[in-house]
Amino acid sequence: MPTQALFGQLLIGLINGAFYALLSLGLSVIFGLLNIINFAHGAQYMMGAFVAYFCLQWAGLGYWWSLLIAPIVVGAIGIAIERAMLKPLYHLDHLYGLLLTFGVALVLQGFFRHQYGSSGLPYGIPAALAGGHDLGFMFLPNYRAWVVVFSLAVCLVTWYVIERTRLGSYLRAATENPALVQAFGINVPRMITLTYGFGVGLAALAGVLAAPIYQVNPLMGADLIIVVFAVVVIGGLGSILGSILTGFTLGIVEGFTKVFYPEASNTVIFVIMALVLLVRPAGLFGRSA
Amino acid sequence: MSRPPHPDPGVRAPALPARVPERVGEHAGAAASEKSLSIAFAAMVVLLVAAPFFVYPVFLMKALCFALFACAFNLLLGYVGLLSFGHAAFLGGAGYASAHAAKVWAFPPEAAILFGTLVAAALGVAIGALTIRSRGIYFANITLAFAQMLFFFSLQAKFTGGEDGIQAVPRGTLLGLADLRDTHAMYFTVLAVFLLGFLVVYRAIHSPFGQVLKAIRENEVRAVSLGYRAEHYKLIAFVLSATLAGLAGATKALVFQLASLTDVHWTMSGEVVLMTLLGGLGTVFGPVVGAFILIGLENYLSTLGAWITMVQGAIFVVCVLVFRRGVVGELGRLLKRPL
């Protein structure tokens, strides 16, 4: 086995893992408070990449501005969706939330596909991150190293905010018992809205990070999100640290599978999911129901 | 003094369609409701027998296959409250099996359809045994993941033909009597298959078995406390639903002489949810109506390209927000009869 190929696949695995982690983190945060699986997450990730593209085309704002603008814009759209459509469904079975976000995903993907086709639009690597380093055993492009480091940092900050700050403690308390937290004078409906916006913003951020690697494509989130669902189930729905760890780990496992048994690289995550569920139905880090 | 236990454990939120579509006109009495269902069934049979002489038969066959698929799906979501997001696995898996049997093994059509259906049943037993313990969103996600496994298997396996699928599947001669290359012979075969599947679902729902399923949907804990093995019932319903979805897929493969990746892709699982929701969850005729509306839309809006996805998504959103009873559910409410 040539080490070059091994490390190359390991890097690809880490990159995929970074996206799995960011996306499953957003899904987990949303699920924790809203109890719905956000099926539109893949579409919102795609919109993040498109906002980056528009920033560059229409306003001449580059990659670094997009990292800031895309999560805010897409997060605001998410907030509008939550207020207008998800809120009336909270008193119903949570599956209706899943079906609604599925419909929203279809609308968004259909719209962008109609406007921009499905072939993908190019988006360049920012000048500051062009080029790469020869590490001796492999060539490491700067941009890819940045994606891994930056998404890891975002994940850790999110984890810190939720697990170690006062705001995070409100959030965790509202996950446990919203009625009681509301009785203490905390505006839970607003917290739910902002949480959804935040989770959606994370997806958009992942979309901006992905734009220079995978191009800007209306369907870029459609199949990815199904894999991320499996990642979330393996990590345990609603578990913050679980989704970060399983995200990165499964990306690497997938990368290694590509080296040693390429036929299974697409299915390995689903196989792991089936095995995990047989042993631990609530996922690796989830609380048992 | 110990207080008597609370009569209703009430630990779980009611399952999905509870109290939404049914209960409509329950006071109408069992006999009256059975009568209105019989009338509606007779009307449907008459319409479907006459239809191929007025409407393009290939469209009708496609709609009938999907109607059966949606009825099978509705058995699970509407009557057990389980949302499977992986039903494409059974439709597409059976399609591949029956296409392979008909083309490579030269099975006659009835044997090919039977083989495809059995393969779907086997898939249903395997996937059901692994997933039936999970609930709600977990169940939806896990069935989705299993369906994706089958999708990637179909993409890579030799016999499925990858991106090309299995093409030019021979329709053959039914029971050695009727040449199915004739469109009308094929149509009435499909109609017979559909009616068979429809009646199986109807029978299952209106039997003691179906009553237990509804009890589990409304309050599983209580059903268990009354001595019903909820997991057995749910598994049987799941396998029955998978088998009938397979029957639809196996027939569809012969009608279009094609088994392809479209039928195992997860978007197909989403489409059947939409058909059932649009027609009316937990209604007998809802899935049929939903399938005809949606296939009709796809047929007549096919020139719009990507707009179709948007239209489907918008219908989804509207149905979930304001139209949760669906077409037939609303109709039943107006007529004060369960349909």
Question: Is B1 a residue whose pLDDT tops 50?
Answer: no
pLDDT band at B9 (very low <50, low <70, confident <90, very high): very low
Tell me, what's the pLDDT at A141? 87
Q: Is residue A254 part of a domain?
A: yes
CB contact under 8 A, B317 and A103: yes
Query: How many Cβ atoms are within 10 Å of A176's Cβ, its own excluded?
Result: 9
pLDDT in tens, A68-89: 999 999 999 999 999 999 988 8
Tell me, what's the pLDDT at A49? 94
Facing B148 at nearest CB: one of A31, A93, A270: A270
Q: Is residue A129 part of a domain?
A: no
pLDDT in tens, B39-56: 888 888 888 888 888 888
CB contact under 8 A, A226 and B308: no
pLDDT band at A119 (very low <50, low <70, confident <90, very high): confident
Q: How far apart are CA A20 and CA A233, in angstroms?
A: 12
Q: Indicate the average pLDDT of chain A.
A: 88
Residues of chain B contacting A227 with CB distance shorter than 8 Å = 148
CB contact under 8 A, A96 and B324: yes
CB pairs under 8 A between A and B: 132
Domains of chain B by range and CATH? 26-335 (1.10.3470)
Q: Is residue A223 part of a domain?
A: yes
Measured between CB atoms, does A262 come within 8 Å of chain B?
Answer: no
Measured between CB atoms, does B140 come within 8 Å of chain A?
Answer: yes
Question: Is B200 a residue whose pLDDT tops 90?
Answer: yes
Residue A61 neighbours by CB under 8 Å, 6+ apart = A55, A69
Residues of chain A contacting B317 with CB distance shorter than 8 Å = 85, 100, 103-104, 107
What's the rounded mean pLDDT across residues A201-211?
94
Does an H or E element contain A139, and which? strand A139-141
Tell me, what's the pLDDT at B16? 56
Instruction: Select from A50, A69, A9, A56 the least CA-distant residue to A221.
Output: A50
Write out residues 144-173 of B within 8 Å (CB-CB) of A.
144-146, 148-149, 152-153, 155-156
Q: Is residue A119 part of a domain?
A: no
Residues of chain A contacting B306 with CB distance shorter than 8 Å = 110-111, 113-114
Write out residues 18-57 of B within 8 Å (CB-CB) of A.
18
The domain in which residue A101 lies consists of 10-109+142-279
Q: Is residue A128 part of a domain?
A: no
Residue B30 neighbours by CB under 8 Å, 6+ apart = none
CB contact under 8 A, A232 and B316: no
Measured between CB atoms, does A110 come within 8 Å of chain B?
Answer: yes
Facing A110 at nearest CB: one of B18, B134, B306: B306
Facing A271 at nearest CB: one of B149, B273, B308: B149
Measured between CB atoms, does B226 come within 8 Å of chain A?
Answer: no
DSSP SS3 for A141: strand
Which residue out of A102, A111, A224, A232 would a mutagenesis test of the B interface target, given it has the greatest number of B Cβ atoms within 10 Å? Answer: A102
CB contact under 8 A, A229 and B316: no
**Tokens standing for B108?**
């006659």
pLDDT band at B248 (very low <50, low <70, confident <90, very high): very high
Q: Which residues share a beta bridge with A128?
A: none
Q: Give the total residue count for chain A.
A: 289
Give the nearest chain A residue to B153 (CA atoms).
Answer: A267
CB contact under 8 A, A277 and B309: no
Give the nearest chain B residue to A263 (CA atoms).
Answer: B156
Question: Is B203 a residue whose pLDDT tops 70?
Answer: yes
Q: List b or e across A42-78, with b for residues whose CB sees 16 or more CB atoms inside 10 angstroms.
A: bbbbbbbbbbbbbbbeeeeeebeebbebbbebbbebb
Q: Chain B closest CA to A145's CA: distance in Å?
A: 30
Q: How far apart are CA A233 and CA A227, in angstroms?
A: 10
Phi and psi at residue A211, in whole multiples of 5°? -55, -50
Which residue out of B153, B266, B269, B317 would a mutagenesis test of the A interface target, given it has the greatest number of A Cβ atoms within 10 Å? Answer: B317
pLDDT in tens, B262-308: 899 888 998 999 999 999 888 899 999 999 999 988 888 877 777 88
Question: Is A3 a residue whose pLDDT tops 70?
Answer: yes
- Of the listed ranges A166-170, A283-287, B217-221, the least confidently predicted one is A283-287
What's the rounded mean pLDDT across residues B3-32?
47
What's the rounded mean pLDDT across residues B90-101?
94
If one counts the domains in chain A, the total is 1
Q: Is residue A149 part of a domain?
A: yes
Facing B317 at nearest CB: one of A31, A107, A111: A107
Instruction: Select from A137, A147, A133, A125 the least CA-distant residue to A16.
Output: A147
What's the rounded mean pLDDT across residues A40-57?
93
Facing A98 at nearest CB: one of B134, B140, B142: B140
Torsion of CA B56, B61, B62, B65, to 10 degrees: 160
Question: Is A239 a residue whose pLDDT tops 60?
Answer: yes
Facing A230 at nearest CB: one of B145, B155, B156: B145
Torsion of CA A33, A39, A42, A43, to 10 degrees: -110
Facing A274 at nearest CB: one of B130, B137, B266: B130
Tell me, what's the pLDDT at A154? 94
Tell me, what's the pLDDT at A82? 93
Give the nearest chain A residue to B307 (CA atoms).
Answer: A110
pLDDT band at A134 (very low <50, low <70, confident <90, very high): confident
Give the nearest chain B residue to A266 (CA atoms).
Answer: B152
Terminal C-alpha separation, chain B: 49
CB contact under 8 A, B136 and A226: no
Does B170 or A72 have the greater pLDDT score? Answer: A72
Tell me, what's the pLDDT at B21? 45
pLDDT in tens, B55-71: 888 899 999 999 999 99
Residues of chain B contacting A273 with CB distance shorter than 8 Å = 142, 145
Tell me, what's the pLDDT at A1? 59
Q: Is residue A86 part of a domain?
A: yes
Q: How far apart are CA A149 and CA B153, in angstroms?
A: 34
CB contact under 8 A, A107 and B324: no
Q: How far apart are CA B149 and CA B125, in angstroms?
A: 16
Q: Is residue A3 part of a domain?
A: no
pLDDT band at B20 (very low <50, low <70, confident <90, very high): very low
pLDDT band at A287 (very low <50, low <70, confident <90, very high): low
- Of the listed ranges A2-6, A192-196, A244-248, the least confidently predicted one is A2-6
**Tokens standing for A94?**
């949570």
Give the nearest chain B residue to A226 (CA atoms).
Answer: B145
pLDDT band at B157 (very low <50, low <70, confident <90, very high): confident
